[in-house]
Amino acid sequence: MAGPLAGVRVVELAGIGPGPFAGMLLADLGAEIIRVDRAADLGGDELRALAHAVIDRGRRSIAVDLKQPAGREVVLALAERADVIIEGFRPGVAERLGVGPEDVAARNPRLVYGRMTGWGQSGPYAHLAGHDLNYIAAAGALALGRGADGVPVPPENVLGDFGGGSLYLVTGILAALLHARETGRGQVVDAAIVDGAASLMAMHHAMINTGVIKRNPMDGGAPYYRVYRTADDRFLAVAAMEPQFWAELLDGLGLADRELPDRDDPANWPELGELFAEIIRGRPLADWLAAFEGRDACVTAVCTPGEAPHDPHLAARRAYLPAGADGAGWQPAPAPRLSVTEPELPGPPPRIGQHTDEVLAELGIDADALRAAGVVG
């Protein structure tokens, strides 16, 4: 199947990180994505190409100089035929280039304009530089995960860029698409990573506000929700929060008949954690996996990215697929699964400007003339 978004046309103004990942998600669901790359990047930026070797999949690419009027016209011509445009510039840059929301709405009032930024289009930080770590720090999300020394630990850039950023941009775009189809009117989706990270804190704020928890049990401090080192320097993830899972955990650790301190008192967590750590580091990972096989103890191995595709469950679900025709490396399969319009895996990432002539021909624009004028690559 082509996917549930078959027929949806998206113009993606090239960026890095969360914007392209949002494009990947839309492409995975069947949308047609045309990425507008900078003509100046033609044949270069190998590091970016390697870093985006998966999230840039499923597009066509044209290389355009947006600073030239004729280049701007190419983007506006694409916008006329599109349903969605995605950009990740700092606030005001798209407007200065002549491809901002008002510019494209004048050509296509049904267009959904998705904006991906860290701080959003307004507010005192809007024009400041920032990265994932800054956004989740300001939103209160970084403080949730702390190391043994009490210092917050950065969770890579999954929580901010891709969780609070890309997923919320895609959600907003899909909602705005439904509205546009009902009303004929497009709108701007102001997707700020800091907003999404704050939204992801909903459950934690509820627990804090109502006093359900005095201390967060999911930050690695609780002995029943922690990662432990094994004898062979591997790691075991333990998440036995509920009483029935706790009982299975104790049985698997050989502690079922031992009187232990109250696990619900945070004052006892260091003692219990040290006990579990001592027991678990006494045996290799394979032994522990065998000991907990079939048990509802919420105990799993910590897989490396290279091992995850071979995990029996993920392999059975084909959660990872080969990254290239030669079978080298892996890439995540499209998610989530759909029962009727299950999408196929999109094609490989394009080279910058790979489809310039093809796309311009579809627009009825003379590529050779623009190339001679330095407008396209």
* Nearest-angstrom CA–CA distance, 288 and 252: 8
Task: Give yes or no: residues 52 and 150 share one domain.
Answer: yes
- Measure the N-to-C terminal CA separation of the chain; round to a whole number of Å: 33
Does residue 90 register a pLDDT over 80? Answer: yes
What pairing do the DSSP bridges indicate for beta strands 320-322 and 330-332?
A: antiparallel
Total structural domains within the chain:
2
Residue percentage of the chain with pLDDT more than 70: 95
- How big is the CA angle at 98 (ends 47 and 87), to the nearest 5 degrees? 40
Last residue of a domain, one of 243, 274, 301: 301
Is 313 known to be catalytic?
no
In the prediction, which pLDDT does 123 show? 96
* Confidence (pLDDT) at 49: 66
Report pLDDT for 213.
Answer: 66
> pLDDT tens, 11-44?
999 999 999 999 999 999 999 999 999 998 887 6
The catalytically annotated residue of 45, 131, 219, 251 is 131
* Shared domain check, 150 and 26: yes
Domain extent at residue 250: 235-301
pLDDT band at residue 277 using 50, 70 and 90 as cut-offs: very high
What is the model's pLDDT at position 15?
A: 92
Amino acid at 228: Y
Catalytic residue among 28, 132, 161, 195: 161
Respond yes or no: is residue 65 known to be catalytic. Answer: no
Q: Which is more confident, 212 or 57?
A: 57
Q: The domain that contains 193 carries what CATH number?
A: 3.40.50.10540
> Residue range 254-268: average pLDDT?
94
Assess if residue 221 is contained within a domain. Answer: no
Cis peptide, bond prior to residue 312, ω within 30 of zero: no
pLDDT bin (cut points 50, 70, 90) of residue 345 is confident
The pLDDT of residue 44? 67
What local confidence, expressed as pLDDT, does residue 53 receive? 80
Structure confidence by residue, pLDDT tens digits, 143-198: 888 776 788 888 889 999 999 999 999 999 999 999 999 999 999 999 999 999 99
What CATH number should be reported for the domain holding residue 255? Answer: 3.30.1540.10
Residue 343 has pLDDT above 90, yes or no: no
Q: Answer yes or no: is 4 within a domain.
A: no
In a domain, 306, yes or no: no
My answer on whether 163 and 256 are in the same domain is: no
Residue type, 122: S
Q: Which three-class secondary structure string do you get for 102-155? A: HHHHHHCCCCEEEEEECCCCCCCCCCCCCCHHHHHHHCCCHHHCECCCCCECCC
Asked if 27 contacts 59 with a C-beta cutoff of 8 angstroms, the reply is yes
Q: How confident is the model at residue 356 (pLDDT cuts 50, 70, 90)?
A: very high
Asked if residue 279 and residue 177 are part of one domain, the reply reads no
On whether residue 213 sits in a domain, the answer given is: no
The verdict on 125 and 271 lying in the same domain is no
**In Å, how far are 30, 112, 113, 170, 303 from 24, measured between CA atoms?**
10, 17, 17, 10, 24
Q: State pLDDT tens for residues 301-335.
A: 999 999 999 999 999 999 999 886 555 689 999 99
